Amino acid sequence: MNRPAPEGISEVWHEYWRSHQGQIGSGAPDFLRQSLKRACGDLRGKLALEAGSGTGGLCLALAEEGASVCALDIVPQCLKGAASLRWRVAGDLFRLPFPQASFDVVFNSGVMEHFEPPDLERGLAEMVRVLRPGGRLVVIVPSARGRFYLQGKRRLEASGRWEYGNEYPVTTLAPFMTRLGLTGGSENLAGVRWQARFLDGWRRALAAALLRPFGENSRVGAALFGAYLLVSAWTKP
């Protein structure tokens, strides 16, 4: 039997929900929505699961492309904010309440960075379990190459203003994905300009000025300054 989420994770997100009513997963920026859609591929007629949905903003983005989407979150109150989604499930990413090979697409954003190995790989394995052969797994996490994101994160942590619990940015998820038997992987950076939002005052202004010439998905901008997010997309054989 699969073990539940690591101790303390549920409490972190319940507390975050209490202090940020309705904001978890809502109002996803356009660059994130578009990056997710590209990574998922053709969504028409597909069955998709967001394992850690918040209020379902990204679920709605995939539904717009023709997918039937299930929103799952460990915080039941979040799902009340996803009233426009017909399929909502309160549940644990580490013990998904679905049979194996249930979905064509399984995805999440802003979830897996809260786990270190082996819990990270355990969570990914559970997502792979419910993915159908030929299906797509898309995981979006903060990138360890985001120069200004990392600077901002360190400053917020040092001043006690960091609100997101333990967060472990990564350079790549490829070693985990290949160990789980996934193939056809692609990894891209997104949110080149967005990372400036983690800074404040003159630091934010300077970072924003340096990043202004680049789009959120600019390869040149990512090569120079990194980006906020890593978009890791893989196929189950």
Report the CATH architecture of 9-235: 3-Layer(aba) Sandwich (3.40)
> What pLDDT does 77 receive?
78
Cβ–Cβ < 8 Å for 70, 101: no
For residue 217, the one-letter residue type is: N
How does pLDDT run along the chain (237 residues), one tens digit per residue?
567 666 555 555 555 545 444 444 456 899 999 999 999 999 999 999 999 998 788 999 999 999 999 999 988 877 776 666 778 999 999 999 999 999 999 999 999 999 999 999 999 999 999 999 999 999 999 999 999 999 999 999 999 999 888 999 999 999 999 999 999 999 999 999 999 999 999 999 999 999 999 999 999 999 999 999 999 999 999
Residue in the block written with tokens 């979830």: 111
Residue in the block written with tokens 């580490």: 94
User: What is the DSSP track for 12-54?
Assistant: HHHHHHHHSTT-TT-S--HHHHHHHHHHH---TT-EEEEES-T
Identify which of 128, 130, 139 has the alpha carbon closest to the alpha carbon of residue 180: 128
> What pLDDT does 13 receive?
52
> What pLDDT does 23 receive?
45
Alpha-carbon separation of residue 57 from 12, 84, 134 (angstroms): 20, 10, 25
SS3 state of residue 114: helix
> What pLDDT does 9 receive?
57
Cis peptide before 118 (omega within 30 of 0): yes
Distance CA 5, CA 122 (A): 10
Distance CA 93, CA 100 (A): 14
